[in-house]
Structure 1
């Protein structure tokens, strides 16, 4: 059965350093190059057909959120690459609404899952932040239950506020889905918290969903 595409939001008030790991041998981190924008747009989807279906969406998202910031996207967006320097994962921090730190577009290509690459990538991204840069926020979906477990390990909690910006927060509908798909121990470790008012005000400041 397909998992519905519902909204979940998470917040990390402080980085749990015990969850951090180093990148496995044979992989390295670098920024996205300007001639690799299409690679970045496609890497989030597990097959070329789906990537093609979402290409217009990804192009519009890039134009709406990143394009006005000049080269900042290319200076910020990270790729994990294999020994051939081929991107196989991505993630980065973006200051959404010019006010709040957000985790954007975390993905490891399916063929490379289960090797600790995602945990290492998140470790690198979150360790680069200063203490005063927290909290960090993200938007996800219940189908990303494996990533949600990872986020929780690093200190992210699920936000309970019913509306985040212009989007409904589907936490109540998602919890039974997560319980069904996550190992019981991992599900029980999930924490729920309320968002600070300053964050809620920031996400209401624009009709564009910047994370």
Structure 2
């Protein structure tokens, strides 16, 4: 179903976490930092099959070099894996100070075969709960094919930004809303909230042509 959805930009902002959305992992899973030898795993994690991961390997390598390479040690401190009882990574997510100015959520993903088990909610809870109040609002970039994640983000207090341009990218808000309405449950779609981006955020996004989130 997701393969039918066009790749469009959506941006979201959370001014204050909704603590009622938080959850914890069951005992069979744990969270730890990504190890240097596991960088290849991280590069493939966003994709649901090896063929697609290989196709986008250059993109992921370039993104790492553009955004994280100069702060490589910090990346390996920040980048988190949720792992199964065998310590095998099954999901990833972390908070990152994009442009050294704004707090953003990066690369939130749970392997497709384990979606719907509450692992993603618990992982995002861990990441969001660790962000200091002074570092809010928190921002993220997503796409309409991630409509299940958008529902989760909404639960946590994220609002969809309506500004037509975010940094050097078009915000496809108007095109994405009919897609979300089609694929999301009506009750979840009706809970979506919207906001205009703060000036400080827009200025940060314009400070570099490299998309850091």
Q: What is the CA distance between 1:130 and its match in structure 2?
A: 1.2
Gaps of 5+ in 1: none
Q: What is the CA distance between 1:70 and its match in structure 2?
A: 2.9
Aligned residue in 1 for 2:192: 190
Distance 2:27 2:148 in 1: 23
Distance 2:28 2:115 in 1: 14
Aligned residue in 1 for 2:84: 82
Q: What's the RMSD between the two structures over aligned residues?
A: 0.6
Distance 2:169 2:72 in 1: 27
Gaps of 5+ in 2: none
TM-score by length of 1: 0.99
Which of 94, 103, 119 is the matching residue for 2:121?
Answer: 119
Matched-pair contact (CA < 8 Å) for 1:24–1:116: no
Q: Is it true that 1:105 corresponds to 2:107 in the alignment? A: yes
Distance 2:175 2:153 in 1: 19
Which of 130, 133, 153 is the matching residue for 2:132?
Answer: 130
**SS state of the match for residue 113, structure 2?**
helix
Distance 2:181 2:117 in 1: 24
TM-score by length of 2: 0.98
> Number of residues paired by the alignment?
211
Distance 1:58 1:196 in 2: 29
Q: How does 1:1-211 map to 2 (within 5 A)?
A: 2-211=4-213
Distance 1:201 1:86 in 2: 39
